[in-house]
Amino acid sequence: MTDTDKILDEARRQEPDPPRSKLDDYAEIIWELRRKRKRICAIADFLVGHGVRVGKSTVARWLKAHPAAKTDTTSRQLSTVLVNPEEQERAKNFFDPSTDSNHEPKKYNLR
């Protein structure tokens, strides 16, 4: 075992520090509201309404310090929107009109 492995092993055994922000306990709630496109002041009002004394600047700083994980939103949206094969076929025909036998290219007035 090398020195770096020993140091890494010791680092992994360290206990995590307690949360530095009181909003860390509410992280999942805050991210759920952000996914629903709620504004920072609305999130602060929501938390205050549920007994958490917090201002909008605190929520804004917390969001800046804790960026959301990048997710593949396009695949999630397609999987929830296109549920049956008929809708998938209609969408395919809409976005790829060359599969439609009646499709003729439009002629534009180009000079």
Q: How far is CA 98 from CA 5, 92, 107, in A?
A: 58, 10, 15
What share of the chain has pLDDT > 70, as a percent? 70
Give yes or no for a contact between 56 and 44, defined as CB atoms under 8 angstroms apart.
yes
Task: Determine the residue type at 19.
Answer: P
C-alpha–C-alpha distance, residues 64 and 21, integer Å: 13
pLDDT digits (tens, 9 = 90+) for 43-92: 999 999 999 999 999 999 999 998 876 655 554 555 555 457 777 777 77
